[in-house]
Amino acid sequence: MTLYQGIVTFSVAWWLILFMVLPWGAQPSDAPPPGTVPSAPAKPRLLLKFAVTTVLALLATFVIKLLVESDLLSLRPPPPG
């Protein structure tokens, strides 16, 4: 896997995992301030979620790299014949 492929794999994995992590622990406020959507989370804890997302994306990228380099996961079409 080249550096460019690794960056692209990490970026895609990061965004996919972020959307999976965002709902974790999201509880709406009991008394939302005026002008705020009632369903907005009281404590979104975004820095924690970004850190968890980054660690999981690094792990996913590493696993994908191992699978591609071991030929267990081939991204190329089979040879003709």
Give the bridge partners for 28, in sequence order: 41
Closest CA to 49 of 9, 20, 80: 20
Residue type, 54: T
pTM for the whole structure: 0.81
pLDDT tens, 22-75? 999 888 888 888 888 888 888 889 999 999 999 999 999 999 999 988 878 777
Residue type, 24: W
Buried b or exposed e, range 57-69, using 16+ CB within 10 angstroms: beebbeebbeebe
Output the pLDDT for position 39: 86
